[in-house]
Structure 1
């Protein structure tokens, strides 16, 4: 079976009643095995009357594409030799998805329904689903139909949302999966481990599942529990690797949003669904995605012992290629309701940039990704900043946090100004206006990033160890 190359992600979902502004969020850090994994970000145009077959460069999956497809935002790999990996986006019907959260099924279930070599994999999921769906619920069904026809190459979690609902779908084996509608008053932190728990097969409004999954489990004696039907227990894993690589990230995210609850970072019983102790802001989601066990002894760049600093895998990594937060505001209140926040480089050190997805373009700086460093490229600009900040973290941390905080405030002001200007605006006029705003936003953030980078490099020249101060008494 092929080795997944994009398999170290962390996902967050926040229901609208759990959010400070009453809207749905889905978010994820897309992580890889190497630090230098350039990503593009642009708008895929709508298509009509097409007659084309999609073939995956990764595993040669071949699928005849529908004739018509919606416009959508896309974040593919810059080098697509191993696959497209479009990962995340919002389409013109204001339906969004993020794919995937790589997970692992246990050997017992895989024995009876193994993964399919040339089935649907992460590289293809967004490409084959997002342009063709009209709701989050429809997204689950659409992907489920693809899995039924072609099988799944990997075990993956997939997030879908629209203004009304959030759905999380876990593909476990070659053909079996479940999905849950995230309650409006709950949030979820998912970290490379099957997380969905009890399934109510009498509640098709809030759960979906693959055909025959109950029979599959029963006939093969796969349910370890005395009572109930817990997907995590039946299909998931609980290993030493999980307790050092996966569960601590869930623990930390829940620690941030439910600080009064004491939990063990290595527990295999952390709940999948949580109600937060306070309403969650977009800045809270950004903080978690950018976190590295901040203010704990496990922080890799903190003051703990070397053993503690290396004990757990953090959420934000040097190999985070693309961190995104998808936000759908109430279309009855604002015209520019769909926003995709994008952070490139290491999220701990770089800002989240808000882009309006009802647009025909993001910005050239996000689609231009040469093989070597060029500060005209947003990807390379933020990668450079990340390296410089981390290289002198104790000296640069405060200035870098001030830089991020100022841009976070600027983003709120900019979105509010756009909301005011777009009252009553519709159709292509709205799309053209938001496209221009995307260019303005990119320019502002790029300019500020270059200024911050220049300040850091200038200060850094005084920090060389190759210096010598003459003793005046010599």
Structure 2
């Protein structure tokens, strides 16, 4: 079966009672198998009376297209597919798709993946415009899988102001979903993570039709007295222990530092209650992390063996990091999408209001070669320069990120205040203008930071020579 290049991500979900400001959050690093894979970010506007058919460039899946509007982050090069990945629609329902996972050979033997079924390249395009709630997102995608089958094993995040749902699609037709408790968070990293399913509680769990019968008929449950989705459908391999579970371990270590766990454990819980309330900066720190302050940091001082032992969350092939935030307010600007293009280790997260007609042209302008008027290329240039002299540039880069994080909070508060008496088209136009103001500020600050680093870097060349005065 054809395999696409988008197959490595890390996801974070935070319930509103676990967050510091009462927001629901879903977030993910979209990773690739190559370091340079440009992304766009814009508003897909609603259209009227459209009657078009979607045909996947990836596997030729054919489905009717919708009319509604939403924010979207597609690939710049769409030869392999759209890969819209994440967004929030006009109903203030958001999703992030997908967290690539792997099912075991036993379950796939009885329900193989479908070559021309629903795949990551299509999921956001075919689901987000249609849905009115997070729960409806699970139902809608579940119906598509029942009709067309699934090409891949995937995890998909959905949220609205009330709920967060995480759905794991394991085989060609079977999946489960769990409502993330309001007081909890979850970190997912390319491995089936959902554990016990309570089939007597459909308010908090959902599942594909016939999944219990499928498991029983084919003798797939290894447990004596429980029904654990991870145990039945998931994997537990050496790759998991070096590529996947350490990322979950580190995310949980950041939010529950007092709990000692083994980074290679196969029993890390999917859900946890944090030790303190979680801020958007905490989520950013997880997505930007590379085992910081541990011996496993590839940029740290550990042994070469330890530095290469585990796959980090932030990688050179992270091309689109996003945090979708749904705030408690009901004044029309409660949805914010924080966008970090390139490696979030070195980039700033830029907040955009999604009740808007546009983001900014610098986010949709992605030429084939580097151009600093393109947001994608601007942040890609920054990551290259910072990592090239990491020890010298890490502190000024952290200062740059901190200053922009502070500015972002101040700007959001200002916009909230100024927009209190706006509604409808007036509010949408105002938020659209503010998106452009925000993008301009971040672009200019990043260009200035890049110029400062390049200037300092001229003194760091190894091609230098000082005459010994004693000669």
TM-score category (smaller protein)? over 0.9
> May I ask how many residue pairs the two structures share in their alignment?
471
Distance 1:417 1:154 in 2: 43
Distance 2:422 2:231 in 1: 50
1:16 is matched with 16
Shift of 1:430: 0.3
1:56 is matched with 56
Shift of 1:336: 1.4
Contact 1:168 1:180 in 2 (8 A): yes
TM-score in terms of structure 2 length: 0.99
Shift of 1:452: 0.2
Point out the more displaced range, 431-440 or 462-471: 462-471
- Candidates 390, 393, 399, aligned match of 1:393: 390
Distance 1:330 1:93 in 2: 15
1:232 is matched with 230
Contact 2:56 2:62 in 1 (8 A): yes
1:88 is matched with 86
Shift of 1:470: 1.6
2:132 is matched with 134
Instruction: Report 1:53-452 matches (<5 A).
Output: 53-66=53-66, 69-332=67-330, 334-452=331-449
Instruction: Report 1:30-45 matches (<5 A).
Output: 30-45=30-45
2:455 is matched with 458
Distance 1:138 1:427 in 2: 25
Shift of 1:324: 0.1
Shift of 1:424: 2.4
- After superposition, give the CA deviation of every residue in 1:354-391 in whole Å (9 maximum; x if it has no partner): 00000000000000000000000000000000000000
- After superposition, give the CA deviation of every residue in 1:99-120 in whole Å (9 maximum; x if it has no partner): 0000000000000000000000
Distance 2:151 2:333 in 1: 37
Shift of 1:335: 3.5
- After superposition, give the CA deviation of every residue in 1:145-197 in whole Å (9 maximum; x if it has no partner): 00000000000000000000000000000000000000000000000000000
Shift of 1:271: 0.1
Compute the RMSD of aligned alpha carbons. Answer: 0.7
Contact 1:198 1:229 in 2 (8 A): yes
Instruction: Provide the secondary structure at the position in 1 that maps to 2:98.
Output: strand
Instruction: Provide the secondary structure at the position in 2 that maps to 1:189.
Output: strand
Give unpaired runs (5+ residues) of structure 2: none
Contact 1:10 1:190 in 2 (8 A): yes
Shift of 1:52: 1.1
Shift of 1:331: 2.9
Contact 2:332 2:355 in 1 (8 A): no
